[in-house]
Amino acid sequence: SQKIEQNSEALNIQEGKTATLTCNYTNYSPAYLQWYRQDPGRGPVFLLLIRENEKEKRKERLKVTFDTTLKQSLFHITASQPADSATYLCALPYGGSQGNLIFGKGTKLSVKP
Amino acid sequence: DVKVTQSSRYLVKRTGEKVFLECVQDMDHENMFWYRQDPGLGLRLIYFSYDVKMKEKGDIPEGYSVSREKKERFSLILESASTNQTSMYLCASIHSATNEKLFFGSGTQLSVL
């Protein structure tokens, strides 16, 4: 079965630096991969989707890459701010799709002023 | 914006009680999901539904049931609550045509004593 791993439970960085979070999966390459942000006590909020035929996608200070050879996605936040502190989850479709997603356990990002 | 509303943010119940968690979405989405989220285990799918009166088991359905009598409402039922069902419960919905981005509710933190 598909497994998805976010290899850092926590990441601490200084304000203004670039945060890079990693998501690896083990089996088949999915048609797309998603990233979500979750604040404490809240539900996840969708950030970005990248498809298997896209190498890179950007949205404001966010950049996502998708390497189907390495079975890996990287999520970058440039010029990070304390307000970016949150848990970031990656997710892949599985089980015949129709919205079924398997989620990684998340990486908790802390941006210090 | 899509709104997914969960009826309670916090709930405290006793072992053996029957518990109802309600979820309503306002965007006419066909597909709805119930997840639970526990520290170190991430998000796990309990049940999902593609249509009214239709339900499918997710990865951890034991001890739970669901009801979808109307398209906008998806209820999670704990027939006889147990302490190991203490968790954050998250409802989500998605449009079946786009099938890409999940919209989550704010979650219900359930404590079973």
Banded model confidence at residue A111, pLDDT cuts 50, 70, 90: very high
* A-chain residues near B41 (CB < 8 A): 105
* CB spacing of A99 vs B40 below 8 angstroms: no
How confident is the model over A34-58, as pLDDT tens digits? Answer: 999 999 999 999 999 999 899 899 9
**Which amino acid, one-letter code, is at B53?**
K
Decide if pLDDT at B96 tops 80: no
- With an 8 Å Cβ cutoff, is A97 touching chain B? yes
Decide if pLDDT at A97 tops 60: no
* CB spacing of A99 vs B99 below 8 angstroms: yes
* CB spacing of A99 vs B48 below 8 angstroms: yes
How confident is the model over B12-48, as pLDDT tens digits? Answer: 999 999 999 999 999 889 999 999 999 888 899 999 9
User: How close A36 gets to chain B, by Cα (Å)?
Assistant: 9
- Interface of B to A at Cβ within 8 Å reads 4, 9, 31, 33, 40-43, 45, 48, 50, 90, 92, 94, 96, 99-107, 109
- With an 8 Å Cβ cutoff, is A34 touching chain B? yes
* CB spacing of A98 vs B106 below 8 angstroms: no
Yes or no: say if B41 and B49 are a contact pair by the CB < 8 Å rule: no
DSSP codes, B35-68: EEEETTTEEEEEEEESSTT--EE-S--TTEEEEE
C-alpha pair distances (Å), B100 with each of A51, B71, B96, B108: 11, 19, 8, 24
